[in-house]
Structure formats: C-alpha cells, structure tokens
Amino acid sequence: MSAITTHFLAWCCERLPARGVRVWVLVWDNASWHISRKAEHWLREHNRTVKRSGNVVRILPCPLPAKSPWLNPIDVHWYHGERQTVEAERVLTKGEMTSRIGACCGRTKEPHLDLPGKVA
C-alpha cells in the first residue's frame, strides 16, 4: 500500500501547482501505509527536493491522534463506500473492485493507480 500511497502523492503534487497550491496540508490517520518507513522516507525526500528546487508542492503532513474518528471527516465516507463495494462472502477481483469504487464515488478509473503485481 505504501507504493500506491507515494505514487498517488507524487501524482497530486504534479497537478496542484496548476491550482496555485504551494503547500499541501495533508491530514492523515494512522493507517499503516501512511506511517510506514517507505511513506515517511518518500515524504522527507520529496520535501527536501522541494526546498532545493522550490517549484513543486511541499507536503505538510498532520497526523491525527490514534483512535480519533471524530477528527477525520472522511471516515464516514470510507464506511459507506466500504459497505457499497465489499462482499463478505468472497474477495472481489481487481476489476470488480475498481468498477464498484468508481460507481460508488461517481468517478472514472485513474490510470495513475495501476501498479503491476500484488500490492496488498
């Protein structure tokens, strides 16, 4: 999951300057892929690069305290999204999951999230 997370952060950082964003305040919960060594290393290196070059979005991570769903307004949306996409009887295929998430969120598939191999 850390690979998807860092890939997604890089993708966002490429697009945010067009919107005039110079600092991205990123509110994160304690999901393992948010606090992994790989994600923390990527964030540190990204911000160092931004400091040297100055032409990319800086990321300011703001971690939430553990067990604090009331501070994270997206948790309600995750809960409802999960109920609309997951089945208790079986594990869905990648294609099924992608189409269900897209239908749930009203979005089309984003190619930046396609990573080869098993990621979870």
What's the confidence (pLDDT) of residue 114? 58
The whole-angstrom separation of Cα 74 and Cα 56 is 26
Q: Which residues contact 29 (CB under 8 A, 6 or more apart)?
A: 63, 64, 68, 72, 75
Query: What is 26-95 written as a DSSP string?
Result: EEE---TTTSSHHHHHHHHHHHHHHHHH--S-EEEEEEPPTT-GGG-THHHHHHHHHHHH--SSSPPPHH
3-class secondary structure, 24 = strand
In the chain, what are the domain boundaries?
Answer: 1-67, 73-120
What's the confidence (pLDDT) of residue 60? 93
What's the confidence (pLDDT) of residue 116? 57
The whole-angstrom separation of Cα 17 and Cα 100 is 31
pLDDT in tens, the chain (120 residues): 788 888 889 999 988 999 999 999 988 887 888 888 999 999 999 999 999 987 789 999 988 887 777 777 776 777 777 777 887 788 888 788 878 877 877 776 666 555 555 554
Q: Report the predicted TM-score, pTM, of the whole model to 2 decimal places.
A: 0.62
